[in-house]
Structure 1
Amino acid sequence: MKKISNEILKRAVIAGASAVLKSKREHPNDSEEEILKRIILDCGPIANKIGFD
């Protein structure tokens, strides 16, 4: 596993929080669990492409 810099981790947290808020606005009746599952599934292929799995 590659070492990830603090700056990249900070950006990832901000991007994740933004994705949660956007998903909550688009799907207001979804549970937090459903929203998190959707975001994790969306992020998986991206992480695999850059080698941070």
Structure 2
Amino acid sequence: MAKKQDPDGKWPLENVHSDRVHFDMEGVEGEPSRWNTLRALRVLDWYSTGR
């Protein structure tokens, strides 16, 4: 997971939903994703505490 982190400390948006959506939550595939970054940081924090 950490290997996908970009130099700015963010994770990119991947696997964009291809069907019609009511609204876009983020940009296009490959751009930094605030939601993926939040999820990744929480998982890495959880893992580093040994839980």
The TM-score normalised by the length of structure 2 is 0.37
Please state which structure has a larger fraction of its residues in strand: 2
Please state which structure has a larger fraction of its residues in helix: 1
The TM-score normalised by the length of structure 1 is 0.36
Q: Which has the higher contact order (CA 8 A, sep 6+)?
A: 1
